[in-house]
């Protein structure tokens, strides 16, 4: 019955359900208090299976990484409710435990059962990155954390709303465990509003089409996603391809950490085997298993962009993560820097896939969100925390050069505008520009990284950085070259300094007029640099993307003739 629904009705219902999730996204983006949600769109909403928690529909404006991890979050609530035996209409669970729901403790998850005619039809969920959730470091990116408790306040799944009644004691606990309660309360109300809207819209849809038809559509969408994925895999050669890349360090010990994958295709199935990856680390570059599985989905979605966003895509894919690796960390291992690790996972999957299907992949993007926090108190004693992430270059592809100054491929988020950050916090951007000579060379070069220099306007503050790619550059594919590495520096009375661990540091004391400076990586190149046209090189020099010296060193001197 699930696939008997006619194609026109299926298409209409697919669009309507996507619109519900999209409207939930928009509701939170408009209502949120902190710019990480309101401007950067670090949030997501979706509909999830009533029994398995599998993703049925996700909004197109939220982060793709949440497609996979939120199914684990919903399943955690399903299991908790089954154990307690007290689930009822009107309940809403809240939690941030990353080992149960994936990603990190800054992401606050709200999960609501949707009842129809006295039975659970599905779950609705909202997740958003709160500005501060306690812990040792404002903004929660603590590069020296050795356990989750040093990163943030840990909340397991609990009922925020019980049978329609808001539990004020839970809100009191949450607001007591943040440096920015007004921001947190605004974000919480925005998420509750998004769930209310989703419930209203889903009821309207079921009133119009009936629960049986909508359920048939959801089943059909999952089955067809599986069929499409199997068809895509069948079009690729059978074989096994490997790739390895490295994290700079774990923030505690200055040792490189390998992330290794073997990609195997056998007819209409794929295996991603991460045997050989580094073990669980003392520092916060670990991720929980739900995050690893979700990251594999994000990489696959990039390689096969026409696939829909639901759990059916992953049915023909076997993600193998060894026990005890930094990709399957268990509580209370620190996981605050999960973004850096999942970016490296995507890089190695792309590098392996480039050997099997070079026309489908791009070279490595810049590979770090450069989570930078600057925090202090204003003259009136009010605390402030500026947390943001920063862009870099994307990899070249078979079709074109990489995107300049884009956001990380784990998300559709946007980099908060300079004007928003300067208006909200006592800082001034001395510099916000593309970084010349940062792109990986190739037939199609990578995109350029960026340069940010941020000056403190208050009397004093502390800065904290959690980044990567300070020692291992983004790689090219199909013969393309690596890009420039990440570089961070901070200003003191005796001049500029760089962190001993290259990409991670906490407790940087800043005085008024001093600054921090980020020079972010570019993207890797696609194809041999010898195949790039002289005209393209000359244009890059004319635009200021490359210096003349770098162009000549990389591509030879023939580009000068094209410039005549």
Distant-in-sequence, close-in-space partners of 375: CB < 8 Å, separation ≥ 6: 138, 139, 179, 383, 384, 385, 386, 461, 462, 463, 464
- Residue 102 in domain: yes
Last residue of a domain, one of 203, 225, 247: 225
List, in sequence order, every residue forming a beta bridge with 505; answer none if it has no partner.
465
Q: pLDDT value at position 141?
A: 83
- Residue 12 in domain: yes
- Residue 552 in domain: no
- Residue 272 in domain: no
Q: Is 61 left (phi over 0), alpha (psi -120 to 50) or beta?
A: alpha
- Contact between 529 and 446 under an 8 Å Cβ cutoff? The reply is no
Closest CA to 95 of 156, 148, 38, 161: 156
Length of the chain equals 564
Total domain count, the chain: 2
pTM, entire model: 0.92
Residue 446 to residue 286: CA distance in whole angstroms: 28
Q: pLDDT value at position 275?
A: 97
Rounding to the nearest 10 degrees, give the CA dihedral for residues 340, 344, 350, 352: -170
**pLDDT tens digits, one per residue of 154-204:** 999 999 999 999 999 999 999 999 999 999 999 999 999 999 999 999 999
Which two three-digit tokens encode residue 256?
A: 């490189």
The H or E element spanning position 302 is helix 289-303
Q: pLDDT value at position 1?
A: 39
Q: Residue 498: which pLDDT band, with cuts at 50, 70 and 90?
A: very high
Q: Which residues of 379-397 are buried (b: 16+ CB within 10 A; e: fewer)?
A: eeeeebbbbbbbbbbbbbb
Q: What is the residue whose two structure tokens read 């969408």?
A: 221
Q: Residue 62: which pLDDT band, with cuts at 50, 70 and 90?
A: confident
- Residue 311 in domain: no
- Residue 293 in domain: no
Q: HSE on the CB side for 73, CA within 13 Å?
A: 42
Q: What is the extent of the structural domain holding 523?
A: 362-532
- Residue 245 in domain: no
Q: pLDDT value at position 142?
A: 83
Largest CA distance in the chain: 78
Which two three-digit tokens encode residue 90?
A: 């009107």
Residue 435 to residue 445: CA distance in whole angstroms: 14
Which two three-digit tokens encode residue 175?
A: 């607001």
Residue 324 to residue 336: CA distance in whole angstroms: 18
- Residue 212 in domain: yes
Which two three-digit tokens encode residue 512?
A: 């008024």
Which two three-digit tokens encode residue 247?
A: 């994290």
Residue 134 predicted with pLDDT over 60: yes
Residue 41 to residue 34: CA distance in whole angstroms: 10
């Amino acid at each position: 019955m699930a696939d008997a629904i006619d194609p026109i009705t299926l298409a209409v219902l697919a669009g309507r359900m996507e619109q519900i999730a999209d409207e939930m996204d928009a509701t939170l983006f408009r209502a949120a208090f902190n710019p990480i949600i309101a401007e950067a769109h670090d949030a997501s909403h979706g509909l999830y299976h009533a029994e398995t928690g599998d993703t049925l529909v996700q909004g197109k404006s939220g982060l793709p990484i949440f497609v996979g991890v939120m199914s684990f979050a919903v399943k955690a609530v399903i299991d908790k409710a089954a154990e307690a035996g007290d689930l009822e209409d009107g309940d809403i669970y809240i939690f941030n435990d990353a080992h149960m729901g994936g990603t990190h403790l800054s992401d606050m998850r709200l999960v609501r059962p949707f009842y129809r005619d006295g039975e659970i039809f599905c779950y609705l969920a909202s997740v958003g990155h709160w500005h501060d959730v306690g812990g040792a470091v404002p903004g929660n990116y603590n590069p020296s954390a050795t356990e989750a408790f040093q990163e943030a306040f840990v909340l397991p799944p609990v009922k925020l709303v019980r049978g329609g009644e808001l539990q004020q004691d839970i809100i009191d606990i949450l607001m007591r465990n943040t440096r920015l309660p007004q921001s947190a309360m605004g974000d919480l109300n925005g998420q509750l509003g998004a769930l209310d809207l989703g419930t209203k819209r889903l009821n309207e849809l079921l009133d119009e089409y009936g629960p049986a038809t909508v359920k048939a559509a959801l089943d059909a969408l999952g089955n067809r996603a599986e069929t499409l994925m199997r068809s895509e895999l069948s079009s690729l050669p059978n074989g096994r391809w490997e790739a390895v890349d490295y994290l700079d360090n774990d923030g505690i010990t200055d040792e490189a950490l390998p992330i290794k994958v073997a990609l195997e295709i056998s007819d209409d199935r794929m295996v991603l085997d991460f045997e050989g990856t580094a073990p669980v680390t003392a520092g916060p570059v670990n991720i929980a298993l739900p995050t690893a599985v979700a990251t594999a989905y994000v990489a696959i979605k990039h390689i096969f962009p026409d696939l829909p966003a639901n759990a059916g895509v992953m049915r023909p894919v076997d993600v193998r993560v060894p026990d005890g690796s930094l990709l399957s960390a268990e509580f209370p291992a620190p996981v605050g820097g999960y973004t850096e690790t999942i970016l490296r996972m995507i890089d190695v999957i792309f590098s392996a896939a480039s050997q099997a299907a070079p026309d489908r992949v791009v070279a490595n993007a810049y590979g770090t969100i450069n989570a930078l926090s600057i925090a202090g108190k204003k003259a009136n004693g009010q605390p402030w925390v500026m947390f943001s992430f920063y862009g870099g270059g994307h990899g070249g592809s078979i079709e074109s050069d990489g995107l300049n100054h884009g956001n990380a491929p784990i998300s559709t988020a946007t980099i908060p505008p300079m004007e928003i950050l300067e208006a909200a916090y006592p800082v001034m951007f001395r510099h916000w520009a593309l970084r010349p000579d940062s792109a990986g060379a190739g037939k199609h070069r990578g995109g350029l990284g960026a340069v940010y220099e941020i000056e403190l306007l208050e009397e004093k503050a502390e800065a904290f950085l959690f980044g990567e790619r300070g020692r291992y550059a983004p790689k090219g594919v199909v013969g393309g070259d690596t890009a420039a590495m990440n570089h961070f520096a901070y200003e003191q009375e005796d001049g500029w300094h760089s962190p001993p661990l290259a990409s991670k540091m906490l407790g940087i004391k800043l005085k008024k007029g001093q600054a921090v400076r980020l020079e972010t990586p570019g993207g890797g190149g696609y194809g041999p640099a010898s195949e790039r046209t002289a005209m393209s090189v000359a244009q890059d020099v004319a635009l200021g993307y490359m210096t003349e010296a770098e162009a000549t060193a990389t591509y030879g001197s023939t580009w000068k003739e094209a410039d005549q």
